Structure 1
Amino acid sequence: MYWASRFEEEDVLVHLPYCKIDFKHAHDTNQQNYIYKPLSVEVSNKIKSISRNNPMAMYTILLSGVQCLLYKYTNETQIMMGMRVMEEKNSDLTLSNKVLLLKNNIDHTMSFKSIFNQMKVIFSEAIQHQQISFRKMVERLNIQYDLNHVPMIHTLVSLGKAQTVPDDNNVRAATMFHFDLENENVQLKLTYDAERYDQDYMMQAAEHLDQLFAVLLHQPDLALSQVEMLSTAQRNELLFDFNETKVAYPQHKLMHQLFEEQAERTPDHPAVRFESSVLTYRDLNQQSNQLARTLQAKGLQTGQFVGIMAERSLKMIVGLLGILKAGGAYVPIDPEYPADRIQFILEDSNAAWLLHHSHIQKPEQYMGMSILLEDTAHSSNSHLNLEHSASASDLAYMIYTSGTTGNPKGVMIEHASIVNSLQWKSDFYHFSGNDRVLMLNPFVFDSFITHFFGPMISGSTVYLLNGQQCKDAVAINSMIRKEKITHIQSPPSFLMTLLEQAQAEDWASMKNVVAAGEKIVPSLIHRLNHINPRIEVCNEYGPTENSVVSTVLTINSTEQYISIGKPIANNRIYILSEQRELQPAGVQGELCVTGAGLARGYLNRPDLTTEKFVDDPFVPGAKMYKTGDFARWLPDGNIEYIGRMDHQEKIRGYRIELGEVEGALLNITGIQEAIAIAIEDEAGTKQLCAYFVGVEAMTITEAA
């Protein structure tokens, strides 16, 4: 049977991406609106000329054009949409067969001519087999029906009076492209679901269709990937208006140099507090200078890696600054990491020096030089600032990222890149000597860097909690109340845990909350607003590969849509198709970042560096980073995060590679199959779940 051979169970109907970010899937309503858009005179004349005014030929051209538009907007290579059946004389068509489905395969290498020729065959065959009930035609497909049992066809295309069907609710469509020939011009009436689309978006789609025809009909052999459908104004908006981020920060500064300048301005102001101890800016600067001289005496050269394996403490902070001041690049290592992960980081980085506490044993296989943070010999060195041996293009640090299983990858960040992020952080949040910042992030997270050093270059005081306190909501809320904390940063899920156990007086001093690393749910904003309506909430987004922060959104209302905001200072964002074309506003693509924050690349991974750090297609000589995140521009220049392109998830701030989790499970004796997934609860919080099949029954403890 023809229709059974045309369709497969996994086939889906394609629609223009929904542009309304807050629409509800309410299939029991049908709020339709429409726009009229005449195709340009040149396009109309070309269509009439090619078709020789033959309605069937004209319709085939229009069908092919709409398919090209759908491909450009969705990147779906299998385009399936609906068409009205062709009215026949002496025919008594029933309700069930007034719509046919057309399926065509498209890819970016195809030309309009080849798509048109395919469509001619598909269209002709469909007409020959149109005497069939709708349900019989689609029996192999998963077609949705509304509450009135009306089939929902996402995209419908019709032409002229021969395909005009009275509005008798025989079909629902998210978009209906109805063409007619009026006054020698091809007119488009585009009817759309007003719950999912707005007028501006539909007008944009109609203009893009006209632009596609203008190019494709004059250059029918041109590959789709070479067809530009954006107008000059739209292109300029995406490239320049939405990326108007240039800020003239001081150039050629080093990360620790910014701190030293602040230490000169406020030497006696408390810099860091931990438990009952405190370091002033002078204390911290002098102690880190002394440690830096020890490192240099041990042979540390500019740009070399130094491992630091430390618990939360003042010595940890001295260690980080000491490495930077000595000209090295620090590599943070959590002492609680599995032994094989610690060993991999030390070997991969080839760190010849390892700073650690006296009570933390260095790995047995480590052959480098061990330096104790508590060694009193450091204090015999000069406490004066060292001459800066590093330059802005030298490495400041390297963070190993990508999950908690398998082999992580080292992301190398230069001083110039992170200094831009730090100066933005200081300016954006207006840190000052009156601010008291609570640090919850582990120092192995990149978010630690901006949330610690941003305040440090601004004269604020940072409060550290020990490892146990950082997990204790009661202790944290007590600290916030006691020390009158003004700023805090945390993954949204942990913030919610804090707020569930907090009283209004606990957070009375709070000025700003940064939620990052996970999706923010509206309930969190409502809770923060309830506990202290004066709190400013910010959503930060950014990969480690772009120096922590790439975009930011300030949330001013509980009713505000929570996007990831706009690019920060001296950063640019592109939303690109697979062929690295600019995607129109409202159309998803891969989020790519470029500008001042880019990393140097991945250590010892030239293949991955080449794959992810590619040439900027719009700025000669520049690079951009492909994040692997799906996103789209909103009309106001904010960016909506959609999700990952791969199997990576971010849970409580950790990057988790689901494939690596599955691989680790499969390495356990007795496990035959395994799958890992991220499950989102009603509040929007993600949890990592794994399922496995064993040779025989086993407990979770045995599997672990």
Structure 2
Amino acid sequence: IVRTSDPLASTPWTVSIVDLQHLSTSEKEIALQQLAQQQVQRPFDIATEALVRTTLVVLSETEQALLVFIHHIVFDGWSVGVFVQELIALYNAYSQGQPSPLTPLLIQYADFAIWQRQWLQGDVLQSQLSYWQQQLKDAPALLSLPTDRPRPAVQTFVGTYHKFALSVELTDRLVKLSQEQGCTLFMTLLAAYDTLLYRYTGQSDILVGTPIANRDRSEIEGLIGFFVNTLVMRTNLAGNPSFSELLGRVREVALSAYAHQNLPFEMLVEALQPERDLGHTPLFQVVFNLQNAPVQKLELAGLTVSSLPVESTATKVDLALSMENTTQGLMGVWEYNTDLFDASTIERMNGHFVTLLSGIVANPQERISQLPLLTAVEQQQLLVDWNNTWMEYPEDKCIHQLFEQQVKRTPNAIAVVFEDQKLTYQQLNSRANQLAHYLHSLGVKPDVLVGICVERSLEMVVGLLGILKAGGAYLPLDPEYPQDRLSFMLEDAQVSLVLTQQRLLDKLPQLQAKQVYLDEVWSQIAQNNQDNPTSEAKAFNLANVIYTSGSTGRPKGVMVEHKGLCNLAQAQIQTFDLTSDSRVLQFASFSFDASISEILMALGAGAALYLGTKDSLFPGMPLIERLRDYSITHITLPPSALAVMPFEELPALQTIIVAGEASSAELIKQWSIGRNFFNAYGPTEASVCATIAKCTFDEKISIGRAIANTQVYILDENLQPVPVGVPGELHIGGVGLARGYLNRPELTQEKFIINPFGSGRLYKTGDLARYLTDGNIEYLGRIDNQVKIRGFRIELGEIEALLSRHDDVQIC
């Protein structure tokens, strides 16, 4: 039946017949599909076996299935049309007892091969090579599509497909747009595909493989054989062009590629010698194809013929999009690697592609970054539903007033413990009130900063509350900090008053500010009134200023207001299930934002706050002993501290909160059994904590969802929301946002931007994250902590994770 010049044509070729008549209808369908799958997966032995394999399956006396499998080395997409046309002609003739109507071939595939080999040499070959060498110079080696699973070290080819159809109306509008822009439909669809990939990856240099029939001579149009070649379409999307402008770029690239289509792809790869990686194909990992090969409908005399779809289980690349224009509109198929992508991810991607195409025909002058991508349902989910976090909170209160309310409820309960010293809520309140009245007499009032440099002690908590009750805001100064850093903080904050202790005199720099030595003047402070002072501070006034490291090396002071900390206190008390029976360890350095979180969650819930010296809280056995001896129920630790802790049962420890760094699955598995384990995330600029995840060892690690009255948006560099699964910069909004950076208006304006999705502002965290399908957020690292080597995107966290597995590396 098949006419070919292949030298193996004389190899014995048989038609297998399989009888399934004895099976039930449903069993026949299953058996037929299984047989087809087996044939698809069975390799050809090209040395000894015919490259055509045919099986006739008998289903009943009137129904048969013909399975034809042909090796790609002698057959391409265009050949399908030729094969069908000749099959129709031969069957219709033979069924009526007539001879073959096919005329002898004037040339065969071997003739083409000889001609191509003779033509493609010398200046012709050099011209083709030079074009592609210049066109693909310094091209990125990998298109970093966001995947559901890490890329295997060695590429796999396990795949499946997803079909879709565009409406006739949308198809007609795409055809019309192509005509208006002087482009082919292929060019328009490729430009849209490029735009989709750009929006998914953020890369503006995109390489897409596309097959070309390579039958540019009429003599070979009727031949069966492997003529197809693969072209690399490299598109520059830099500068955020309009789609119309991008289409012009794609048109130019495509026409140049067509003019140099005769260089076989294998020869191109050999000439370019790209850096090879077993994990992916060279030059491109995505493919686009618009089928335009003529395929005649299979009509055989006296038969009703239908096609048998065979489930595809293999793919050569990460992602391939094939489309075909039919009378019912454009039809498409996504083929994808199932080791990389879930079916739901491709379904979402398809929705984005269709939405994008609709946006393109509606306004081809729109910039590609602004074209619609999300469906209406996704927009609602990402921008509204997952950010619907409103909860009533004491919005008119200051944090010291929350403490005062607790004093009324449990005046005699233990509030704070340091070694063998302790204070009840009433005692702590009385001392803080005495200090507040004293500070008020020194001019402390709302938004006045007071430095506090004390060792871990009861005075630390009394001092903090006293400053707040006086209406001021505290600036924590760690006595362990270098004097240069303390000098900078005091000078930058323009502090006029510092609370400290006499024994720390030699650790402090020369100060212009007035110094109050709490241990020396306490007898004088104790003469003041023990009643709550009338608070002049409001929820919008400053509670503290926390200095964080700056990218330029110059620390920056974050101005945190009462309202954000009040919201934080309530959210954490509820989430971590704190009660008056809880015992909270104050672990963080007083200069870190986590310290106020620990203090507030304890004193706001009527729990006991346990302090310790720096040495007694050293991660390892000292810290284990504190947890055990104090029967601590709640602790917040950075994962690096928890990682070096020897494992002990610690039956009293009900809740572990990790924050400040990315947590590992090993930590969660080890420490979550029998207790609550939370992964908290948030910058100081969002009042310490913005999202919380309750972790179990068998779930994907995430930073959870936004806490109460907080909004989280994951946006691309053009402030457009990215789809689920696609990385973007994490932006935070809500009542927890800090006022900004102290004395840094330009930086405040740069990092705290107008919220494009509602009222207020958003803080640009600089953190890379993505939404998971369940609404939880996966933290991926710092945007500025990302490096590229030879075009490969390298996450330093991956290198850290690998180093951590080494037996001799405890933590890195």
- Specify if TM > 0.5: yes
What is the aligned partner in structure 1 of residue 105 from structure 2? none
Is residue 2:506 matched to residue 1:359? no
In structure 2, give the amino acid aligned to 1:389.
Answer: E
Q: Distance in 1 between matches of 2:144 and 2:251?
A: 21
Secondary structure of the residue that 1:417 maps to in structure 2? Answer: helix
Instruction: From the superposition, tell whether residues 93 and 103 of structure 1 become closer, same or farther in structure 2 (CA, over 3 Å).
Output: farther
1:580 to 719, 725, 731: 719
What is the aligned partner in structure 1 of residue 34 from structure 2? none
1:619 to 758, 765, 773: 758
Is residue 2:377 matched to residue 1:233? yes
Q: Distance in 2 between matches of 1:104 and 1:459?
A: 62
Is residue 2:415 matched to residue 1:271? yes
What is the aligned partner in structure 1 of residue 661 from structure 2? 518
What is the aligned partner in structure 2 of residue 309 from structure 1? 453
**Residues 394 and 566, structure 2, Cα contact 8 Å, conserved in 1:** no
Instruction: From the superposition, tell whether residues 95 and 58 of structure 1 become closer, same or farther in structure 2 (CA, over 3 Å).
Output: same
What is the aligned partner in structure 2 of residue 696 from structure 1? none
Is residue 2:395 matched to residue 1:251? yes
Shift in Å, 1:14? 2.5
Matches within 5 A, 1:320-469: 320-361=464-505, 363-374=508-519, 375=521, 376-402=523-549, 406-469=553-616
**Residues 12 and 80, structure 1, Cα contact 8 Å, conserved in 2:** no
Matches within 5 A, 1:493-504: 493-498=640-645, 501-504=646-649
1:217 to 352, 355, 361: 361
Shift in Å, 1:23? 4.2
Which region of structure 1 is more displaced relative to structure 2, 574-583 or 125-134? Answer: 125-134
1:40 to 167, 177, 182: 167
Is residue 2:7 matched to residue 1:7? no
Q: Distance in 2 between matches of 1:37 and 1:562?
A: 33
In structure 2, give the amino acid aligned to 1:629.
Answer: D
Q: Distance in 2 between matches of 1:400 and 1:247?
A: 30
What is the aligned partner in structure 2 of residue 563 from structure 1? 702
Secondary structure of the residue that 2:545 maps to in structure 1? Answer: strand
Secondary structure of the residue that 2:189 maps to in structure 1? Answer: helix
In structure 1, give the amino acid aligned to 2:160.
Answer: N
What is the aligned partner in structure 2 of residue 191 from structure 1? 335
- Cα deviation digits, residues 241-281 of structure 1 (max 9, x gap): 11121101122011100011111111111111111111111
In structure 2, give the amino acid aligned to 1:373.
Answer: L
What is the aligned partner in structure 2 of residue 694 from structure 1? none
**Residues 205 and 235, structure 2, Cα contact 8 Å, conserved in 1:** yes
State the TM-score, normalizing by the size of structure 1.
Answer: 0.87
Is residue 2:738 matched to residue 1:609? no
Which region of structure 1 is more displaced relative to structure 2, 299-308 or 538-547? Answer: 299-308
- Cα deviation digits, residues 140-188 of structure 1 (max 9, x gap): 47454548x9658321001115499x99999821111000123341111
Q: Distance in 1 between matches of 2:208 and 2:694?
A: 40
Shift in Å, 1:539? 0.3
Shift in Å, 1:282? 1.1
In structure 2, give the amino acid aligned to 1:188.
Answer: G
**Residues 9 and 140, structure 1, Cα contact 8 Å, conserved in 2:** no
What is the aligned partner in structure 1 of residue 268 from structure 2? 137
**Residues 43 and 210, structure 1, Cα contact 8 Å, conserved in 2:** no
In structure 2, give the amino acid aligned to 1:5.
Answer: Q
Q: Distance in 2 between matches of 1:558 and 1:683?
A: 22
Q: Distance in 1 between matches of 2:186 and 2:708?
A: 49
Percent same amino acid at aligned positions? 34
What is the aligned partner in structure 1 of residue 106 from structure 2? none
| Number of residue-to-residue matches in the alignment | 649
- Cα deviation digits, residues 212-252 of structure 1 (max 9, x gap): 22221232222223322222221111111111211011220
Shift in Å, 1:75? 1.9
In structure 2, give the amino acid aligned to 1:614.
Answer: I
Q: Distance in 1 between matches of 2:466 and 2:386?
A: 39
Secondary structure of the residue that 1:552 maps to in structure 2? Answer: strand
Matches within 5 A, 1:55-66: 57-66=184-193
What is the aligned partner in structure 1 of residue 652 from structure 2? 509
State the TM-score, normalizing by the size of structure 2.
Answer: 0.76
What is the aligned partner in structure 2 of residue 640 from structure 1? 778
Q: Distance in 1 between matches of 2:327 and 2:294?
A: 19
**Residues 152 and 173, structure 1, Cα contact 8 Å, conserved in 2:** no
Which region of structure 1 is more displaced relative to structure 2, 404-413 or 70-79? Answer: 404-413
Secondary structure of the residue that 2:557 maps to in structure 1? Answer: strand
Instruction: From the superposition, tell whether residues 419 and 53 of structure 1 become closer, same or farther in structure 2 (CA, over 3 Å).
Output: closer
Q: Distance in 1 between matches of 2:803 and 2:422?
A: 39
- Cα deviation digits, residues 83-121 of structure 1 (max 9, x gap): 113331539999898322111111464122221121112
Shift in Å, 1:624? 0.9
Instruction: From the superposition, tell whether residues 156 and 319 of structure 1 become closer, same or farther in structure 2 (CA, over 3 Å).
Output: same
2:684 to 544, 547, 564: 544
**Residues 418 and 597, structure 1, Cα contact 8 Å, conserved in 2:** yes
**Residues 75 and 577, structure 1, Cα contact 8 Å, conserved in 2:** yes
- Cα deviation digits, residues 382-426 of structure 1 (max 9, x gap): 111111111111100000001699320000011111111111111
**Residues 86 and 163, structure 1, Cα contact 8 Å, conserved in 2:** no
- Cα deviation digits, residues 567-610 of structure 1 (max 9, x gap): 00000011111111111111111110000100000011000000
Is residue 2:800 matched to residue 1:680? yes
Instruction: From the superposition, tell whether residues 5 and 336 of structure 1 become closer, same or farther in structure 2 (CA, over 3 Å).
Output: same
Unpaired segments ≥5 residues, structure 2 = 1-129, 296-309, 788-795
**Residues 10 and 141, structure 1, Cα contact 8 Å, conserved in 2:** no
Q: Distance in 1 between matches of 2:312 and 2:293?
A: 16
Is residue 2:248 matched to residue 1:117? yes
Secondary structure of the residue that 2:644 maps to in structure 1? Answer: helix
Secondary structure of the residue that 1:540 maps to in structure 2? Answer: strand
Q: Distance in 2 between matches of 1:615 and 1:576?
A: 14
**Residues 230 and 264, structure 2, Cα contact 8 Å, conserved in 1:** no
Is residue 2:205 matched to residue 1:78? yes
In structure 2, give the amino acid aligned to 1:383.
Answer: Q
**Residues 521 and 683, structure 1, Cα contact 8 Å, conserved in 2:** no
Instruction: From the superposition, tell whether residues 52 and 340 of structure 1 become closer, same or farther in structure 2 (CA, over 3 Å).
Output: closer
Q: Distance in 2 between matches of 1:457 and 1:613?
A: 29
Instruction: From the superposition, tell whether residues 340 and 210 of structure 1 become closer, same or farther in structure 2 (CA, over 3 Å).
Output: same
Which region of structure 1 is more displaced relative to structure 2, 269-278 or 198-207? Answer: 198-207
Q: Distance in 2 between matches of 1:687 and 1:334?
A: 28
Shift in Å, 1:318? 0.7
- Cα deviation digits, residues 415-445 of structure 1 (max 9, x gap): 1111111111111112111111112111111
C-alpha RMSD of the superposition: 2.9
Shift in Å, 1:476? 1.4
**Residues 411 and 601, structure 1, Cα contact 8 Å, conserved in 2:** yes
In structure 1, give the amino acid aligned to 2:686.
Answer: N
Unpaired segments ≥5 residues, structure 1 = 650-676, 690-704
Matches within 5 A, 1:655-694: 680-682=800-802
Q: Distance in 1 between matches of 2:570 and 2:324?
A: 58
- Cα deviation digits, residues 61-87 of structure 1 (max 9, x gap): 111110111112222111211111333
